[in-house]
Amino acid sequence: MLSLENVHLSFSGIKALNGVSLDVQKGELVAVIGPNGAGKTSLFNCISGLYKPDKGEISFKGKSLLGTPSSSRSKLGLARMFQNIEVYEYLTVLENMLLGRHHLYKSNWWQEIFRTPAAKSEEIKQRKRVEEIIDFLDLESYRLTPCGILPYGILKRVELGRALCMDPEILLLDEPASGLNQEETEDMARYILDIKEEFGLSQILIEHHLHMVLDLADKVVVMDFGECIANGTPEEVQKDPAVLSAYMGKEE
């Protein structure tokens, strides 16, 4: 589904990524972990098109993504939930999530202006999908509430919902449990697992909650100083001496 081969990225001579290779299969949940500054977010930025690698290849379903702008990658089937919430606070939950469907609308601009039957039919179709995601994430009671007055934990779900509304084939989850309490973290883990089981989406997860990662992931990639130092099942990674040294602060 997604393949990274020997990806390099530097900033003013500082190596953010140093020969990173990674494969994600259809329906697989891959977790990327590592200490702060290991290069995890830089990796996501290269996949989503915010950064252009200095060297290496990134391909999606066998086709290179290099040279494809980030706006076009969403149309190909890539969606990202950002660590920092970026919702429109004066818009409702429903309206924010409808924005995730923007690239899927089939009606023309003039049909929208004059509210033609085709435009109305298209809006009904897109709203139906958004309502399904709202129901999936237990957001029914907030659907018409402006996001600016909602608590942080609910906004995290809205951020996830907007990404799901894009109907992606691969979902990039950048620290979805960041800033959440224990109960909210458990809820988020349940949603991520349900996404895998019900939608069959491939997911790449960056997360600092190790218990959450080890419970959810099919495969774990461990990064340190821009390099992949381990790659395997959660059970294999937990026993890797390099991981114990770099990530958990234990001696090899």
- 202-206 and 29-33: which strand pairing? parallel
Tens of pLDDT along 188-220? 999 999 999 999 899 999 988 888 888 999 999
**Cα(75)–Cα(242) distance, integer angstroms:** 38
What confidence tier does 252 reach under pLDDT thresholds 50, 70, 90?
very low
Domain residues of the chain, as ranges?
Answer: 1-77+169-252
pLDDT at 97 over 90: yes
**Cα(179)–Cα(148) distance, integer angstroms:** 17
pLDDT at 117 over 90: no
pLDDT at 248 over 60: no
Structure-model confidence comparison of residues 219 and 116, the more confident one? 219
The CATH number of 1-77+169-252 is which of 3.10.20.30, 3.30.70.240, 3.40.50.720, 3.40.50.300? 3.40.50.300
pLDDT for res 93: 96
What confidence tier does 116 reach under pLDDT thresholds 50, 70, 90?
confident
Tens of pLDDT along 17-49? 999 999 999 999 999 998 888 899 999 999 999
Q: What is the mean pLDDT of the chain?
A: 90
Q: Please name which of 101, 8, 98 lies closest in space to residue 53, comparing C-alpha atoms.
A: 8
pLDDT for res 157: 96
**Cα(123)–Cα(119) distance, integer angstroms:** 6
Tens of pLDDT along 132-186? 999 999 999 999 999 999 999 999 999 999 999 999 999 999 999 999 999 999 9
